[in-house]
Amino acid sequence: MKYLNEYRNLEATKNYLKRIEKTVTRPWKIMEVCGGQTHGLIKNGIIDLLPDKVQMIHGPGCPVCVTPLVLIDKAIALMDQGVIVCSFGDMIRVPGSKKSLLEAKSDGGDLRILYSPLEAVRIAADNPDREVVFFAVGFETTAPANALSVLHAKNEGLKNYSILVSHVLVPPAMEAILDDEFCNIDAFLGAGNVCAIMGTSEYHELSTKYEIPIVVTGFEPLDLVEGIFMAVSQLEAGRFVVENQYARIVKEEGNLAAKEVIAKVFEIGDRDWRGIGTIPKSGYVLRSEYSHFDAELKFGVESISTKEHATCIAGAILKGIKKPGECSEFGSRCTPSNPMGAPMVSSEGACAAYYHFATNLNN
C-alpha cells in the first residue's frame, strides 16, 4: 500500500535508529503527544531500541483518557431518562464513577455503538418519537464529523438529535504541560492526525515562546524514528522550530474545509481534562446558535459532578510526569479486563500499551 508499507520498512527504520545513536550526545526527554504514537513506539519495540540518552515521555493525546469521568456519568444519566445514547466503541468500557456505558446497557440502557455521528443522525430521523444523543468526544480530529452531524440534523429539521460534547484541543494541553512545575520535556513529537486537520501553523508561537522543538510526526515505525531523529538533531544543534515529518499528510494550513465546518458549529471554551483539571480555552463548546443541540442543557445533566478514582494516577501519566509502571494499581487491581482508569481501557491509552506490549516497564 502506497504511503504505508514503505513506512514499515525494517532496514530504513534501523538506519534511523543508528543515526539517532550517532547524533545524540546528551540525555533528552521527548514527549510524543498522541496515544497512537505511544502504542506505535511500544508495540514495535522502538522504545527498547532507542539509545539510553533518548527517553520518550507519553503525552495526553488519548481522547478517551482525557474525557472526564463525569461525562460518562452524564451519558448514563441520559440513558436512565430513556435517551438513545450513541458512542464510538472505545468509550464503552471506560469506567464511570459507578459503571461503564456497557454496564449501563446491560442494565437496560439503550446504547448504540457507531462508527460515525452521521449514523446517529440517521437513527434520530428513523425514530422521531425517541431522543438521540451522540457522545461527541475527542481532539480536533473528530470535531469536523461531530460538527457535520449537527449541521445535517439542523438541515433535516430534526428536533430529537443532540450531542454530549467533550472536545479538547492539543496546543493548550501542550502549553499546560510546559507550564507545569514538574515539566521535564525537551521536545515534542506533534500529533500527525490532529495536524492533518488543523495544520502546523498554530505550533510556531508555542515553539518560539517555550524555545522547544516540535516535530509533527506520523504513526508508522519509520515515521516515529525519523521524527525522533529530527527532534534530537534540533536539540543537539540548539535549535527550536516546528518541523513536519508527516508532510505526506499534513499541510501548514491544515484541512480548510474541515476547519470551516468546525468553526460554524463550535467556538473555543474552557474544558475539563480527566486527571488534569480545567484548562482555560482548551476545547470546543457549541456556539450559542446551536445550543439547542447541547445534550447537557437539553436534559438538565450539566450539574452532575463526581470525583476521580483516588489511587489512579492517570493525570500524572497524561502530563508525562509518571509512567504506568509507577502506578501501584498497574497489573494488579487495574487490568484491561478490570480497568480502574481510562488509560488501561483505551486503544490509545499508555497503561494499556504497557500492559499489552512493554518488555520493560521502566522505559
Using CB under 6 A as the binding rule, whether residue 312 contacts ligand SF4 is answered as yes
CB of residue 72 vs ligand SF4: minimum separation in angstroms?
14
3-state secondary structure 288-337: HHHHHHEHHHHCCCCCCCCCCCCCCCHHHHHCCCCCHHHCCCECCCEECC
Using CB under 6 A as the binding rule, whether residue 95 contacts ligand SF4 is answered as no
Yes or no: say if 67 and 277 are a contact pair by the CB < 8 Å rule.
no
Using CB under 6 A as the binding rule, whether residue 313 contacts ligand SF4 is answered as yes
Candidate residues 86, 94, 334, 358; the one interacting with ligand SF4 per rule CB under 6 A: 334
Candidate residues 90, 341, 358, 363; the one interacting with ligand SF4 per rule CB under 6 A: 341
Instruction: Select 254 or 324, whichever has its Cβ closest to ligand SF4.
Output: 324
Candidate residues 124, 150, 222, 317; the one interacting with ligand SF4 per rule CB under 6 A: 317
For strands 54-61 and 111-113, give the pairing.
Answer: unpaired
Candidate residues 343, 348, 353, 363; the one interacting with ligand SF4 per rule CB under 6 A: 343
Place of cell 532507542: 50
Which class for 318: exposed (0-12), middle (13-18), buried (19 or more C-beta within 10 A)? buried
CB of residue 184 vs ligand SF4: minimum separation in angstroms?
19
User: Which three-class secondary structure state does DSSP give residue 47?
Assistant: helix
Using CB under 6 A as the binding rule, whether residue 60 contacts ligand SF4 is answered as no
- Alpha-carbon distance of 114 to 92, in angstroms, equals 11
CB of residue 236 vs ligand SF4: minimum separation in angstroms?
33
User: Which three-class secondary structure state does DSSP give residue 113?
Assistant: strand
Instruction: Select 142 or 346, whichever has its Cβ closest to ligand SF4.
Output: 346
Pull the grid cell for residue 53.
540518552
Amino acid at site 88: F
CB of residue 208 vs ligand SF4: minimum separation in angstroms?
33
Yes or no: say if 148 and 175 are a contact pair by the CB < 8 Å rule.
no
**Nearest in space to 62 (alpha carbons), one of 322, 314, 361, 357:** 314
Using CB under 6 A as the binding rule, whether residue 94 contacts ligand SF4 is answered as no
Using CB under 6 A as the binding rule, whether residue 344 contacts ligand SF4 is answered as yes
Where is 60: in which H helix or E strand?
Answer: strand 54-61
Instruction: Return the residue nearest ligand SF4 (CB atom).
Output: 341
Candidate residues 198, 340, 353, 358; the one interacting with ligand SF4 per rule CB under 6 A: 340
Residues constituting the chain: 363
Instruction: Select 15 or 335, whichever has its Cβ closest to ligand SF4.
Output: 335
Pull the grid cell for residue 188.
515534542
Q: Which stretch binds ligand SF4 (CB under 6 A): 17-25, 147-155, 263-271, 341-349?
A: 341-349
Number of shown-chain residues binding ligand SF4 (CB under 6 A): 14
**Which residues make up the interface to ligand SF4 (CB under 6 A)?**
312-314, 317, 324, 327, 329-330, 334, 340-341, 343-344, 351
